[in-house]
Amino acid sequence: MLRFRPRWLLWSLVWLSLSLASVATAASPQGRWRGSWSSVTTGHQGPLRARIRPLDQDSYRAVFVGRFFKVIPFIYPATLDRVPGTGNQYRSSQRLPLLGTYRMSAVVTPNRFQAEFRGPRDRGIFRLSR
């Protein structure tokens, strides 16, 4: 005969609620973003837009488009990979011709994308919103 065990039920409910909470905090970077970038190294800054689309469940293709010195356009393509065990943190490493390898760490909420980037001679921040 089976005996009802309240502890087992309690632990099952706790585990289920924690599992659902981690799913609920996952924020997808997919979509269009608008904001700015700034260099901590040089003090340069400018407008920035991004379009991000999914590649698979944990990876996204991002194309950042901005301006440098107010008039010089740039395009920065990147693959954003979700940091394992997180729902809203992403990282990227991209080799750019003549500039070297740039790495980025991003935190995404439903309406905000904030990233820190670092290259051989520069580091800074992307601040974007929907």
**CATH number of domain containing 84:** 2.40.128.120
In a domain, residue 97? The reply is yes
In a domain, residue 123? The reply is yes
pLDDT digits (tens, 9 = 90+) for 30-76: 999 999 999 999 999 999 999 999 999 999 999 999 998 888 999 98
Number of domains composing the chain: 1
Residues 48, 64: contact at Cβ < 8 Å? yes
In a domain, residue 82? The reply is yes
In a domain, residue 116? The reply is yes
In a domain, residue 68? The reply is yes
Q: Could you tell me the residue range of the domain that residue 45 belongs to? A: 31-129
The residue-averaged pLDDT of 101-113 equals 95
Position 7 confidence tier, pLDDT thresholds 50, 70, 90: low
In a domain, residue 14? The reply is no
In a domain, residue 67? The reply is yes
Say what the alpha-carbon torsion angle 74, 81, 34, 43 is, to the nearest 10 degrees.
-60
In a domain, residue 7? The reply is no
Residue with tokens 């919103």: 129
Residues 120, 110: contact at Cβ < 8 Å? no
Per the confidence metrics, is the pTM higher than 0.85? Answer: no
pLDDT greater than 50 at residue 16: no
Beta strands, E only, 1-130 = 31-39, 45-56, 59-68, 72-82, 89-96, 100-109, 112-118, 123-129
Cβ-in-10-Å burial (0-12, 13-18, 19+) of 84 comes to: exposed
